[in-house]
Amino acid sequence: MWEMRSGHKIGRGSIRPTKPSQLLQGEFENELADFEGVSGLGEALIQVRRLRSMLCMVEVWAWEAMASDGQRKGQGKKKQVTWRIFSLKELHSATNNFNYDNKLGEGGFGSVYWGQLWDGSQIAVKRLKVWSNKADLEFAVEVEILARVRHKNLLSLRGYCAEGQERLIVYDYMPNLSLLSHLHGQHSAECLLNWNRRMNIAIGSAEGIAYLHHHATPHIIHRDIKASNVLLDSDFQAQVADFGFAKLIPDGATHVTTRVKGTLGYLAPEYAMLGKASESCDVYSFGILLLELASGKKPLEKLSTTIKRTITDWALPLACERKFSELADPRLNGKYMEEEMKIVVFVALICAQSRPEKRPTMLEVVELLKGDSKEKFDLLENNELFKSPLPADYNDGSGVDDGSDFISEEKERIQVVKELEGEGGK
């Protein structure tokens, strides 16, 4: 058994919490207030204290979730919170000391490893590459978000480990890996994604994002919707993952201004240029993802060594001319429902419009993808965006190839702004 400092007793597979103190519940706000305006060494201390406070609050939220369930009458047994704190020793054992043969993938954050626990259950362990105050904060944010949300299309938290300078997050293992691996990676030649599976992935991932935007409290912006962050379980059901860049939206706020983080090809223009993050930015990214899912093309296509074309600029002219057979992934061999292909393409392009006020909400996206409203789809099909000739503000989307598709720092945002300004002038 392990003892958490809020009073939780941790057993294998479940948590039996006792109520945390009122001091702990207010700790997160007090920690930040105590150090307001401090710079230099004080700023580093703020980051460390933020991490400690956030992880404490995760424990509080777990207790509150169970206490809330217990207060409901006639609902049967209390809902069990299934995440827990792992020891570093336990994760070393599960991953065979983070053996290279167990590595599932690698990114800017670090590496993900396959592992197996003492009970035979399979896990995926994300291990941060380098310890830093910034990495600590991103780690805490992801744990915070994962502890808040529970939805069938959002990757569930199994637990975390924060020992010394090691920061690890534990998830359920997804045997069919990511959508990226099937569209552009090691499974792309196998063509395991038939049309029915693609529609289920589209609807499932849309429902997961809609939950973040409309049902989580407070609302959550993911900020990094892309094919590699849509994982697939044994039944090819989608689970949206990787909340390291996510932002909580305060009640009444329309957006938050923040440093740009994400992946080129998926970034909404207002976010790339101004740093304004809102739910609509996720809608834009999801539109790109839908086009990628339907066509099998990457978000950015190299036309030459210096020029790229966006997937929207390739798809929109074909959609206007209703050439859906040219839009469909050739690996489908024509085996798809044309009406559903039309819905996916039209919804994708409406989502990926440059003006955020013209994009739908994710709730509307789910409704359209499910075909629940023929009237709304008729309005969508007759949208001026899909009328030939193309709108006057349409551009060819070509841009300078900077050699990197990942945006992580403020200085890199300047390069994105220049690129987008160059596109707008063509």
Per the CB < 8 A criterion, the answer to whether 298 and 265 are in contact is yes
> Is 126 a known ligand-binding residue?
yes
Strand partners, 257: 276
As a whole number of angstroms, the longest Cα–Cα distance in the chain is 68
For residue 366 the two structure tokens come to 């789910």
Question: Helix, strand, coil % (nearest 5) of the chain?
Answer: 45, 15, 40
Total count of residues recorded for the chain? 426
Q: Compute the distance between CA of residue 377 and CA of residue 206 in angstroms, rounded to an integer.
A: 17
Q: Return left, alpha or beta for 265; rule: phi > 0 is left, psi -120 to 50 is alpha, else beta.
A: left
- Spot the catalytic one: 224, 242, 282, 313: 224
For residue 14 the two structure tokens come to 């479940």
Examine the residue annotation and report whether 393 is marked as an active-site residue of this protein: no
- 63's enclosing H/E stretch is helix 41-71
Q: Compute the distance between CA of residue 170 and CA of residue 113 in angstroms, rounded to an integer.
A: 10
Question: Residue 322 burial by CB count (10 A; 0-12/13-18/19+): exposed, middle or buried?
Answer: middle
Residues whose CB is less than 8 angstroms from the CB of residue 15 and which lie 6 or more positions away in sequence, other chains included = 8, 9, 62, 66, 80, 81, 83, 84
Q: Compute the distance between CA of residue 178 and CA of residue 243 in angstroms, rounded to an integer.
A: 15
Per the CB < 8 A criterion, the answer to whether 344 and 365 are in contact is no
* Phi, psi angle pair for 336, to nearest 5°: -155, 160
- Secondary structure of residue 360 in the 3-state scheme: coil
Question: Residue 194 burial by CB count (10 A; 0-12/13-18/19+): exposed, middle or buried?
Answer: middle
Question: Residue 170 burial by CB count (10 A; 0-12/13-18/19+): exposed, middle or buried?
Answer: buried
Q: Compute the distance between CA of residue 399 and CA of residue 419 in angstroms, rounded to an integer.
A: 6
Q: Compute the distance between CA of residue 43 and CA of residue 67 in angstroms, rounded to an integer.
A: 35
Query: Within 321-409, where are the H helices?
Result: 324-327, 338-351, 362-369, 374-381
Q: Compute the distance between CA of residue 380 and CA of residue 62 in angstroms, rounded to an integer.
A: 42
Binding residues for ATP: 126
Binding residues: 126
Active site residues: 224
